[in-house]
Amino acid sequence: MELKVHRATWSGEHPQNSLAGLRECYRERVARVEIDFRTAGDDFVVTHDAPRRGAKLVPLSDAIAIVRSAAPGPTLLMLDAKDERPWTSAEVARLVRLIEPVRDRIFVGSPADWNLRRLRAADRDLALAFDPQYYLTWSARKETLPGRRGAYGYQDDHPLALRRTIATVDYLRERFEMLLGLVADVRELHIRVGFLERMLDDGFDAAGHIHRAGALMDVWTLDAGSRAWRTRLARVLAGGADVVTTNTARELAEAASETERRA
């Protein structure tokens, strides 16, 4: 299992999604790190939310420059695309050109499968990660998408979730086969931690299904200090997570080592 540093917050001494935080992650040789980006005018910028008027914007090219200048090491960067609108062909081409020099050291991820398909059409070998949260998830609160809780207890507006016609594990198997078909040759599927826990409660081996499709499972976001985090981490590891996304990587690394020693 590898830990992914959410929004480049390794030590907590730098703001989220900052270039200083990203440099620190490369300096510390973390296994995985993530930053958010989206379009702003004619450029891609490092940010989670839509930029406020007058805000100072950090070009994604500055983050790519850090990757290019970093010494060879284990760090893999995920670029988490936050745009929901479809990218234009010009934007896709611009992004592909931007990341080309470091394409073997990055992933591009998004819940917007339509943009991932555009990237796949432009670059058949680019590593892509898909989060199916717009289509299927579980959360204690109602998420904007999918927006409806289906007959099996998951948030899912697919017709298969309208009424119970098959066992829950069979329903989940059907849905995962559909989701894995949305983006060709996806390298990772990103799963909300509560969603994974609910599937484990229902007896569905999500990790096994994802692995058989040739992908890894990244579980997000689990932080030290949150409710029952040690117990939840142990369960996530037992549930087959390949990657855990966290804001507290150092604490989770120590706890994971303790769990492995006890096993």
* Interatomic CA distance for residues 91 and 67, integer angstroms: 21
Helix (H) or strand (E) holding 72: none
CATH of 1-130, one of 3.40.50.300, 1.10.30.50, 3.90.230.10, 3.20.20.190: 3.20.20.190
- Residue 143 has a pLDDT of 86
pLDDT score of 258: 79
Give the pLDDT of residue 141. Answer: 84
Name the one residue in this structure whose structure tokens are 């898909």.
130
As a whole number of angstroms, the distance between CA 162 and CA 148 comes to 10
pLDDT at 263: 64
Q: What's the rounded Cα separation, in Å, for the pair 218 and 171?
A: 21
Q: Cβ(248)–Cβ(226) under 8 Å?
A: no
What pTM did the predictor assign?
0.95
pLDDT of residue 129: 99
Instruction: Name which of 66, 32, 38 is nearest 50 in CA terms.
Output: 38
245 near 192, Cβ under 8 Å? no
Pairing of strands 32-40, 2-5: parallel
Beta-carbon contacts of 87 under 8 Å, excluding residues fewer than 6 positions away, are 39, 95, 115, 118
Q: How many CB atoms lie within 10 A of CB 167?
A: 13
For the chain, give every domain's residue range: 1-130, 136-181+187-263
Question: For the chain, which residues score pLDDT lower than 70?
Answer: 260, 263
Nearest-CA neighbor of 12 among 4, 30, 24? Answer: 24
